[in-house]
Structure 1
Amino acid sequence: MNKNILIPFFFVIAVCSAGRVPLSKQNVRKQVFRPFMLVDPLTARSMLNNDFESGTEDPWYDSSPNTVHWVVEDFSAPAANYAPPTPLNGTKYLRATRNEQLNPGLLILRTVVFTALPGDVISFDFWIRSKYTGGNTLDLVLSVGNVESTLLTLTSYSTSVNFEWRRTSTPILDDSFIQPTDVTLIFYAYCGDNVDDAIAIDDIVVESVADVKSSSEDKPAVEQ
């Protein structure tokens, strides 16, 4: 073969190769570094409380698959179509936030794996509203290994006239658990495409039942 032909041929290959990005690098998804995911399960338990005043949901994290996501919102500057009721505490909370087209979708908020102790209780504030009764959903689910069980279902509060934050609580482990157990807590929710549709969570607290009783005893009695 004529050398005068080969030289330009290899030159073209070299230029193209120099500007080519390896396929493996093209397909690498951006990974978000979450330091709290590196802690051991027992330590993780002590980190779960969050009133979102810091502006972050850590160590809870959003794993929603679609266009609706959990976003920390400030009551003084709501990003959604309308402001929620005044929070029970502080000004920030976690809210289901849709895109500009108000596309509906599933939301998932979960913890890292943590060690739940017998007698642990989770408490949190919530607000859920929809144009049609039961139009939006909010469930708290316990995952042990690959087995999920529902701890709370709050869909009945999803009405067009709900303008109130409420506080609720539930034991994390039932009486069948007598030893510390590694678990995950998950909020599953669905937010529709109506302007009225909204879901928000605030002031999540995980504590032992002994702490709950002590806290209630320290409060002054309510006059009848």
Structure 2
Amino acid sequence: MKSTSLKFFILAVTSIAVCWAGKIPTSKNSEELKLRYPFLQVDPLTARALLDNDFESGTEEPWYDSSPNTVHWVVEDFSSPAEGYSPPAPLSNGAKYLRATRDAQQTAGQVILRTVTFTALPGDVISFDFWIRSRYTGANALDLVLSVDDVETTLISLSGYSTSVNLEWRRSFVTILDITAPPTGRDVTLIFYAYCGGNTDDAIALDNIFLIPASFDGKDE
């Protein structure tokens, strides 16, 4: 019994360590990134209007995948998922969503999803639907991180929802900048850092990401 418990503990610690190891600040304005993702050249104020994505277009742009290994974000269809098994019923009427998709061997690993650099104003809220599941409680991770001048701050951590019995989507509202920020706002980047394990029932997915202006009176979930 002790040996089994120790094994689960090591698994969870390793998962978290791998996830956090990927949080290495990188410049979002490098020429290499601009060549790969032309939409990164949009000015930050205009980019505010580009963040909304329900993935019905079949692409994550202008969010983009910067995952370092064999796990990547892939737009899936609810009726024909490529990653193992069907997700729970969506919260809206959409047909598509974004999912952490592993290779044929279901290799575990980290996935990273970034926004273009955009101007966030005081009180702005980001809303998104998420689904996270794992065989062992807390084994998978999903964090939303704010990056300002390559300094990263975790806005919300959702690994607490990572359980074997989580069979539903949830919606979260997260304040990007509080009201004490400069009235002209700040140029920022939002990043989803996630870790998906190698078990069949491990899963991480996102949907319906929207930027909600400061007038919205939402609360973090």
Q: Bin the TM-score by the shorter chain.
A: 0.7 to 0.9
1:15 aligns to what?
A: none
| Aligned counterparts of 1:192 and 1:135: Cα–Cα separation in 2 | 7
Q: Distance in 2 between matches of 1:196 and 1:209?
A: 38
Say whether 1:74 aligns with 2:77: yes
C-alpha separation in 1, matches of 2:43 and 2:214: 23
Q: Where does structure 1 lack aligned partners over 5 or more consecutive residues?
A: 1-28, 216-224
RMSD over equivalenced CA pairs, Å = 1.8
Deviation at 1:86, TM superposition (A): 1.1
Residue 198 (str. 1) matches residue 203 (str. 2): yes
1:97 is matched with: 101
Which has the larger Rg?
1
Which portions of structure 1, spanning 4 or more consecutive aligned residues, are displaced by more than 2 angstroms? 31-35
Q: Count the aligned residue pairs.
A: 185
CA–CA distance in structure 1, aligned partners of residues 182 and 35 of structure 2: 36
Partner in structure 1 of residue 149 of structure 2: 145
Amino acid paired to 2:168: E
State TM-score, norm by structure 1.
Answer: 0.79
- Residue matched to 1:14: none
1:37 aligns with 2:34: no
Task: Please give the alpha-carbon distance, in whole angstroms, between the structure 2 residues aligned to 1:199 and 1:205.
Answer: 18
Cα distance in 2 for residues equivalent to 1:120 and 1:177: 11
Please give the alpha-carbon distance, in whole angstroms, between the structure 1 residues aligned to 2:191 and 2:84: 26
Deviates more, 1:31-40 or 1:181-190: 31-40
Query: What is the percentage of aligned positions where both structures have the same residue?
Result: 67
Q: Is the 8 A contact 2:48 2:119 kept in 1?
A: yes
Do residues 64 (structure 1) and 67 (structure 2) align?
A: yes
Structure 2: segments with no counterpart, 5+ residues:
1-31
Q: Which residue of 188, 194, 210 corresponds with 1:189?
A: 194
User: Are the counterparts in 1 of residues 121 and 214 from structure 2 also a CA contact under 8 Å?
Assistant: no
Equivalent-residue separation in structure 2 for 1:135 and 1:46 (angstroms): 35
* Matching residue of 1:220: none
TM-score, L = length of structure 2: 0.80
- Once the two structures are superposed, the pairs formed by residues 1-224 of structure 1 within 5 Å of their partners are 33-89=36-92, 90-179=94-183, 180-210=185-215, 212-213=216-217
Output the amino acid matched with 1:36: F
